[in-house]
Structure 1
Amino acid sequence: MGAEASPAGWPLDDRGVAYGDGLFETVLVRDGVPCLWESHLARLARGCRVLGMPMPAKHDLERPLAQAGQGLAVLKLIVTRGSGGRGYAPPAVPAPRLRWQLSPFVPDATRWKAGVRVRHCRLRLGLQPVLAGLKHLNRLENVLARSEWSDADTAEGLLCDAEDRLVEATCMNLFWQRGGRLETPRLERCGVAGTLRAVLLERLPIAEVDAAPGVLASAEAVWLGNSVQGVWPVTRLDGAGGEALQRWTLGAVHRRLQAVAHEALGYPTRLDD
């Protein structure tokens, strides 16, 4: 594992390198079988439609799985529009370029069990409904947000949009329970619609809402989740300056949502033992 589809690397005129003109998927692979595979393919296909480029053939996307072997791995697929065009103008007939990387993976079970500390980020996400939900290659906002902290005790940073609405964490989706109701931010203006998020929306009565960050002060429980790491319950929320704003004690309410998510990924569903 660790191989790439093209050892020669990326041409300098590749539009994904030059402009972020492309998409990616990060897939948990268990014993050679990709988890939530159809959901990943569906999101990639939607992204290709929005960007106006052909979807790679399914057999090409699945080819790396033959090298996965036993155990857990993460498959990263990158699809760009390829080379060509003049400046920002895309080529009339795109020739997409597919690259991939397969890496061994060990999830952090401590974060499943003990929960995590998170913080608000100062950076605000720009609004772009056309790209909302997609896992496109333009991730500079996330890079800048992640650079806001370096301490190992902080697991993630929460992001709001330019109008101060909660959106997501830098690489995970956000969920909370308030007044007994499960909620998650709407992702119609920006943010990534995660495949695990889609599973939870199908299996649990989760409302998609517009909410300011202050809503978390009245939450009974808060979680972060994605299709690789699973679900981390949040035990402490800090402000952008590092000051503690809210703390939660883990209980049965945290484990219920986590169990549904972990069942879908093949991760442990009982974590209090």
Structure 2
Amino acid sequence: MNKSPFTLVNGVPADTVAVTDRGLAYGDGLFETVQLRAGRPLLLDLHLERLRHGCERLSIDTRSLFSELQNDLERITSLCELQDFGVLKIVITRGAGGRGYLPQAGVSATRILLLSAMPEYPDQPAQAGVTVRWCDMTLALNPRLAGIKHLNRLEQVLARSEWNDPAIREGILCDAEGFVVEGTMSNLLWVRGGILYAPLLDRCGVAGVLRTQLLLLAARAGIEVVEGRFHKTELEQADEVMLCNSLIDIWPVVALGAQHWSVGPVTRQLQSLLAKDYLAC
């Protein structure tokens, strides 16, 4: 696999942006991370839908943005063999312009497309499962930013800085009121009594594209899905626990502190349903 990243900035091969770009200055923008398989972007429509929703939430001008982004996707396909890469990252910032927080009128959004290699997981966490920990860091409540994948990820950076043990693959975050939300880089799901539970993401957290797809696949398969606010004890009493995002797909959780789990049947069922869904795309 090609290990050298390839980047387009506003449709042109480049690897720099203006120092006045508001994404750099303020985290004023959004991003999507898309898995590529055999050169095919998985769940791209869902990624673009979330990106559009995020632009609307941040009031980023989209009048020509998505047609330009489509041109960028076609151009990057013509310039590269996409099967040589495993990850497509799409970054949209409000653009470059001026000092101060007030966005200037007439500023054009910056579009960045980055192709890179797929992360390698030689220990096969999707099969063997992973160990996770609770984070001390808590997520602030901010419904205006909840769900979208904005560029300011300092909460996640600080949370991920809490440990260096490579045996611990992820940290679980709660919000400021003590409700379980997500992992530092993943969404969190668990099963108890055959019911699939998912934390609500209406006050903080990222509404992951894969989380959205898994909840849909579960419902179609007749698995009851419950979204709500849950405390740590409710997660610790689960029968099965799993992490998901667009690159790792589904990782079963086998240990969290003193809690230990086996990889359960619902987790394996969802992995199978997802694999079939990818083949059908």
Which of 66, 77, 82 is the matching residue for 1:65? 77
Whether the 8 Å contact between 1:176 and 1:219 is mirrored in structure 2 is yes
TM value normalised by structure 2: 0.88
Match among 186, 203, 218 for residue 237 of structure 2: 218
Q: TM-score, normalised by structure 1?
A: 0.90
Report the AA paired with residue 76 of structure 1.
K
Match of 2:125 among 111, 125, 132: 111
Describe the shift of the 1:51–1:163 C-alpha distance in structure 2 as closer, same or farther (beyond 3 A): same
Is the aligned partner of 1:236 residue 2:255?
yes
| Deviations 1:221-262 (CA, angstroms, capped at 9, x unpaired) | 000001111100000002xxxxxx200122423311222233
CA distance in 2, matches of 1:65, 1:138: 29
Show CA shifts across 1:128-184 (max 9, x none).
Answer: 101111000010000000001101100000000111111100011000011221101
Secondary structure (helix, strand or coil) at the match of 2:82 reads coil
Q: What do you get for the CA RMSD once the two structures are aligned?
A: 1.8
> Which residue does the alignment assign to 1:17?
24
Q: Which moved more, 1:13-22 or 1:72-81?
A: 72-81
Task: State yes or no: 1:163 paired with 2:170.
Answer: no
Cα distance in 2 for partners of 1:165, 1:112 equals 26
Distance 1:255 1:39, change over 3 A: same
In 2, Cα distance between the equivalents of 1:61 and 1:130?
29
Contact 2:146 2:202 in 1 (8 A): yes
Going from structure 1 to structure 2, the CA distance change for 1:103 and 1:78 (only over 3 Å counts) comes to same
Comparing 14-23 with 87-96, greater Cα deviation is found at 87-96
| Paired AA for residue 18 in structure 1 | A
Letter in 1 for 2:135: C
Q: For residue 44 of structure 1, what is the aligned residue in structure 2?
A: 51
1:269 corresponds in structure 2 to none
1:182 pairs with 180, 196, 205, which one?
A: 196
What secondary structure, in the 3-state scheme, does the structure 2 residue paired with 1:70 have?
helix
Q: How many residues align?
A: 261
Distance in 2 between the 1:255 and 1:143 partners? Answer: 30
Instruction: Tell me the equivalent position of 1:123.
Output: 137
- By how many angstroms is 1:72 displaced? 5.1
Shift of residue 61, structure 1, vs aligned partner: 4.3
CA distance in structure 1 between the partners assigned to 2:230 and 2:151 by the alignment: 27
Residues 7 and 15, structure 2, Cα contact 8 Å, conserved in 1: no
Instruction: Report the Cα distance in structure 2 between the residues aligned to 1:212 and 1:47, rounded to whole angstroms.
Output: 28
Deviation at 1:70, TM superposition (A): 2.3
Asked if 1:34 is matched to 2:41, the reply is yes
Counterpart of 1:143? 157
Describe the shift of the 1:74–1:172 C-alpha distance in structure 2 as closer, same or farther (beyond 3 A): same
Q: Does 1:201 align with 2:215?
A: yes
Matching residue of 1:270:
none
Aligned to 1:261, the other structure's residue is in SS state helix
